[in-house]
Amino acid sequence: MSSPDSPAAGGDVLAALGAHRIVPVVVVEGAADGARLADALVAGGLPVAEITLRTAGGVEAIRAVVAAQPDVVVGAGTVTRADQVDAVADAGARYVVSPGLSRAVVERCAEHGLPVLPGVASPTEIMAALDLGIDVVKLFPASVVGGPAAIKAFSAPFPGLRFVPTGGVNAGNLGEYLGLAPVLAVGGSWMVDKKLVDAGDWAEITRRTAEAVALAHPESKES
Ligand code: 3PG
pLDDT tens sequence across 82-121: 999 999 999 999 999 999 999 999 999 999 999 999 999 9
Q: Which tens digits make up the pLDDT trace of 61-70? A: 999 999 999 9
3-state secondary structure of 139: strand
Length of the chain equals 223
Distance between start and end Cα atoms, the chain:
42
**Ligand 1 centroid distance, CA of 27 (Å):** 10
Q: What are the angstrom distances between the C-alpha of 47 and each of 3, 30, 213?
A: 25, 19, 11
Of 10-19, 122-131, 204-213, the poorest mean pLDDT is in 10-19
Please tell me the predicted confidence (pLDDT) of residue 8.
43
Are the CB atoms for 208 and 44 separated by under 8 Å? yes
Query: 136 pLDDT exceeds 80?
Result: yes
Residues 13-36, mean pLDDT to the nearest whole number: 97
Single-letter code of the amino acid located at 87: A
Is the predicted pLDDT of residue 222 greater than 80, yes or no?
no
Instruction: Name every protein residue with a CB atom under 6 angstroms from any ligand 1 atom.
Output: 25, 99, 166-169, 187-190
The answer on pLDDT for 185 being more than 70 is yes
Neighbour count for residue 113 (Cβ, 10 Å):
14
Residue 2: predicted pLDDT: 38
For range 181-186, the mean pLDDT:
98
**Cross-sheet strand order for the sheet of 186-188:** 116-117, 95-97, 73-77, 48-52, 22-26, 186-188
What's residue 12's pLDDT? 93
Q: Let me know if 138 is a catalytic residue.
A: yes
Q: Which ligand 1 atom lies nearest to the CA of residue 143? A: 10
Instruction: Please determine, for residue 36, whether its predicted confidence score (pLDDT) is greater than 60.
Output: yes
Per-residue pLDDT at 4: 42
Ligand 1, atom 4: nearest CA belongs to which residue?
167
| pLDDT over 70 (residue 33) | yes
Q: Given the residues 107, 111, 138, 195, select the one marked as catalytic.
A: 138
- Residue 75's pLDDT band (cuts 50, 70, 90): very high
The pLDDT assigned to 209 comes to 98
Residue 156 has pLDDT above 60, yes or no: yes
Distance (angstroms) between ligand 1 centre and the Cα of 79 equals 13
Domains of the chain: 10-213 (3.20.20.70)
Nearest residue (by CA) to ligand 1, atom 7, is: 167
**Whole-number Å distance between alpha carbons of 154 and 125:** 11
**Has 152 been annotated as catalytic?**
no
